[in-house]
Structure formats: C-alpha cells, structure tokens
A = this chain, B = another copy of it.
Amino acid sequence: MKTDIEIAQTNEAHQMWPITQVAQGLHIPLDDLELYGKYKAKIAARAITRLKNNRPGKLILITAMNPTPAGEGKSTVMIGLADALHHLQQNVMVAMREPSLGPVMGIKGGAAGGGYAQVVPMEDINLHFTGDLHALTCAINTLSALIDNHIQHGNQLNLDPRKITWQRALDVNDRALRNVVIGLGGPSSGVVRQEHFQITVASELMAVLCLATDQTDLKQRIGQILIGYTYEDQPIFVKDLQAQGALTLILKDALKPNLVQTLEHTPVLIHGGPFANIAHGCNSIIATNLALHLSDYTLTEAGFGADLGAEKFLDIVTPHLEQTPEAVVVVATVRALKYHGGQPLDQISQPNTSAIQSGFRNLQRHLINLQKYQVPVIVAINQFTSDTPAEIQLVQQLCQEMGINAYPVTVHDDGGVGALNLAQALIDLPNKADWQPLYAPEAAIEDKINRIATEIYGARRVVYSNTARKQLQNLQKRHWDQLPICIAKTQYSFSDDPHLLGAPDNFDLHVENISPNLGAGFLVVRTGNILTMPGLPTHPAALQMDIDAAGTIKGLF
C-alpha cells in the first residue's frame, strides 16, 4: 500500500485539475479567484456577497465516535462520501478545517483525508497552505505586543499585568512555552509578568475568524475581545486599545475561504481550523455558507468525537449558518469499537465480536445524543482490511436495533466508489430534519454546562473548582452569562479522563476554569487537565521528514 503522500504526489489515476477549472465548474468567474499556485485559490469577498442570493443546498454533518489509536478516518470518510455523491451526479462540496502545522510535525497524521479519499495538494494543505494560520499567529502576537507595549509606555488604560487574559500563540507543539515569564532584563525590556503560549488554533482569534460572517463582523468581534482587567477589575477590550483595525487588516486575506479539490475533483473549501478538544472545532461559517450557496449538498465535519465536535457544531455554529443540518453521518470502525470494548491495541486486528458488542456502547451513546437534536442519523463503517464480514454485519445489526442504518465504506482504498451505498442512502433520506439545540443560550451557565455534561457526556454531576466558582460569579455579575458553552475536554472519552473508554457512567465532570470569549461569543469551560499547548512526542514526525532536490517529499504522512 502506498503512503498518503505517495498517492498525493504521484497521483497516478487522478491528475489534479487546475483550480481555475474546478472554479469554472462552480460558475465562479476567474476574476473572483486569488490563485495560490495552480491548485489553490482564495475566493474574493465580492463573490461571496453576490452568491448569497443563491438558495442554500442541504447541509450534512460528519462526526464520529470517540477517537482511538486504532484510527477512525472521519475526514477520509467525508471526502470519500463527497466523491461518491459526485459519482452519483450530485452537485456537492466539502467545507472542512485547515490542518495545524504543530501537530503535523508532532504525530503522524493530517487533516486532508487518506488513501484515495484525499484533498490535494496535500503537502501544501498540511504545511503552510495559503498562510491563514500564520496570519492568525501574527495577529495574536501583535495584539500581545501592543498590550505589553501599552503597559510599558505609561499604561493609560491602567491594565493590571497580573490580570491580562490575552495569550500569545504559536502554531508549534511546544510544551516549554506553556508557562513562561516574560519582560525580564530591566526597565527597557518590558514589564515582568507570567505568560502562557497557546497553540494558534486554540486562540480565541481562530474562533472569531471562524464565526465571523464577513469582514465588518470580524472587526466588530475583534473589538469585543476581552484582553484583561484594570487594577480596579474593570474589563478592557481590544477596542479600548484601538487595535481592531490593524488586526482586521492583518487578517484580510485569511478571512477568504480556500478552494481546493479531492483526488476525484470534487470541490472543497478548507477554511479555519480550531481544535475541537480545546476550541470549537469547526471550519469557518463563511466557508460553510459559501458551500451551501454553491452546491446542493455541503458536507462538513466537526472535530474529534460527536461529544465534542458535533455538540459544538449543533449548539454553537448552527445558529449562525444559513441552513440547518439535513442529516448527521457518524463514522465508526470495527477496530475502534473493539478498542472501546477493551481489546488491546496490539490485538486490534483479531476478530472479536464480544469486544464489538461491548464497545458499541460508545457509538450507541453518540447516536442517542445526536437524535436529541432531531436530525436524522446514519452510520458509516469505515472498513479496514482486517475487518471480517461477521464483524461488519454485527455493527450493522446493532445500529439497526436502534433504528439506524449503517453502511460500510471503503473510500481509503477505493475513493468515491467505496461509498456509493452511503451516498445513495443520503440522497434517499426523507426530509425529516428539524434541528433543535440542546440548550437555550439565555439559560444559566451552570444549567447549560449541566445539560451537556449529563445529557451528552453521561456524567453524574459537574464539580466546579474554586477558581471556576469565582469565575461563574464574575460572569454573572458582568452579564456575560447569556452565551453558548464551548467545553474543552479530552477527545478520548465522554468523561474528562482519557482512560475511561466505552460509555462511562457515574463520573464527575471537573470544571477547572471558565473564561469569556466575548469576541467569539461563547464561554470556554476547561475540564480535567486539558492543555491549550500540546507537546511533541518522544519521536516527532518531523525527524522523519525530508524533501529532495526533485521536490519529492518523505515522511509527511
């Protein structure tokens, strides 16, 4: 079997089309494209404005059970499913997230699909792409420099250096920057204070970019970002610094969605990429709305498992979209079900129907949860060569017992033709969706957290740290409580303990910290030991990477 980068670079069966040709198929005039090489393009704001008159197509959300080291392939299934719809003569687009370079350098694995269900050019998409994340990093750190510079030069706003909430960021997995002291070296080199670098995709600015509906909204949201408090505990916002104009200018191109294609030439918009464990996990509103206006079917994914990604998509993102979801596709694998059922990783390829029976509880809870949103649910079983027919049948049967259809797909090896049944099922789906959010944003903060914790995660109760308790009071006092909740939690478990697999019950959800993201318009609730700056593993993927003089890339995947 070829590696992903080999398939993407040799690309034997699938010569990439010039992106101008892909755009032509969408009736986007050449003049509205800003090319980045031959195979990537940004789409001009005027095109987006003009296309708003088109009637939006159907929206399909792709999500998954809790990820395991055995591999699930949510993006791969989404891409293959889009290619399958394309095969069936449907007018389809994908809207998905941009990969973060930090994790690409850390752990093998990217966000452009895999095998014959990939988005290309994958090496560009997984490296700098069109520079959106770099522009965000630059804007985030420029704001930090402006804040510390304000304090250095007289501190007219009376900012308390101990209460600055805005954090610097890098798109690098760098644990050594989690806790730092800056401003050392004497009076000419700043004011000493503690700082915490985040990974760029965890910064509120990424969420702001992804939730903004246009440049005017972006600037307004940036102005609303809380950067800290005065010595008298008065909140200070970006607009108080007058920095929203410069930050919007820095993000002027990053706000434009990026057009690429699958190996089978299905058009894809890749734009914005917050993580789902430490942020809200969905691509930009602008990209999804644009795809809706350009196609009859828009497929979009929410990061990690449905407990994190889909919940945030359905409660935070959907209210901003021009279309509510028509269906949710939940990706599962036999291997992941066995892993959740207790099968050790080194025996994951061995048939074990009782482990599947047991591990199905993980998938089952996700399916039950998603039905609460009143959107039809379908399961995609992403098939591996080690799966036996009996195992696949068992998963189908278990789903069927819940009244849900499950379709095996082989898109990794076969591309779009590996998901034709699933695609046809989507096309044939009766129009029954009637999306309802889990909670009303106006509800009390503890009620909202409680509903997610108990109804989605299956927690017994929510336990707040003393810090979180104080923060709750602060949020209520300042009337910042009527906002949706964005929970930061491990992706590996329904609980905040990554080792609790399957469908744990009788656990407490530990809320450590609640912070207002007033630009993004949600409250970030950190649970367990969730880190907003990952580290590199013992053997980082970067150390296997190379490019030779002919441009052949090794080790990227």
On A, residues with C-beta under 8 Å from B are: 34-38, 42, 45, 101, 105, 127-128, 131, 134-135, 137-138, 141-142, 144-146, 148-149, 152-154, 170-185, 188-191, 193, 195, 214-216, 241-243, 245-246, 248-250, 252-253, 535-538, 540, 542-547, 549, 551, 553-556
Candidates B127, B141, B535, B544; contact of A250 at CB < 8 Å? B127
Q: In the assembled complex, which residues on chain B have CB atoms less than 8 Å from the CB atom of A253?
A: 128
Contact B246 A545 (CB under 8 A): yes
Residue numbers in B under 8 Å from A171 (CB-CB): 138
Given A37-B35, A176-B190, A182-B176, A241 and B547 touching (CB < 8 A)? no
User: Which chain B residue lies CB-closest to A35?
Assistant: B35
Residue contact B190 to A175, C-beta cutoff 8 Å: yes
Say whether A145 contacts B536, CB under 8 Å.
yes
B190 and A184 contacting across the interface, CB-CB below 8 Å: no
A178-B189, A182-B180, A185-B178 known; A138 and B172 CB under 8 Å? yes
Residues A146 and B545 in contact in the complex (CB < 8 Å), given A35-B35, A181-B180: no
Q: In the docked arrangement, what's the CA distance between A393 and B216, Å?
A: 53
Interface on chain A toward B: helix, strand, loop, or mixed SS?
mixed
B249 adjacent to A546 (CB under 8 Å): yes
Query: How many angstroms from the CA of A35 to the CA of B42 in the assembled complex?
Result: 12
Identify the closest chain B residue to A215 (Cβ): B549
Bound Cα distance A145, B170 (Å): 11
The CA of A546 and the CA of B245, in the complex, are separated in Å by 4
Which of A173, A175, A553 is the most central at the interface, judged by chain B CB atoms within 10 Å of its CB? Answer: A175
Distance in angstroms from A102 CB to nearest chain B CB is: 8
Most buried by B among A183, A214, A216, A545: A545
Query: A142, B179: Cβ atoms under 8 Å?
Result: no
Contact partners of A549 in chain B: CB under 8 A = 214-216
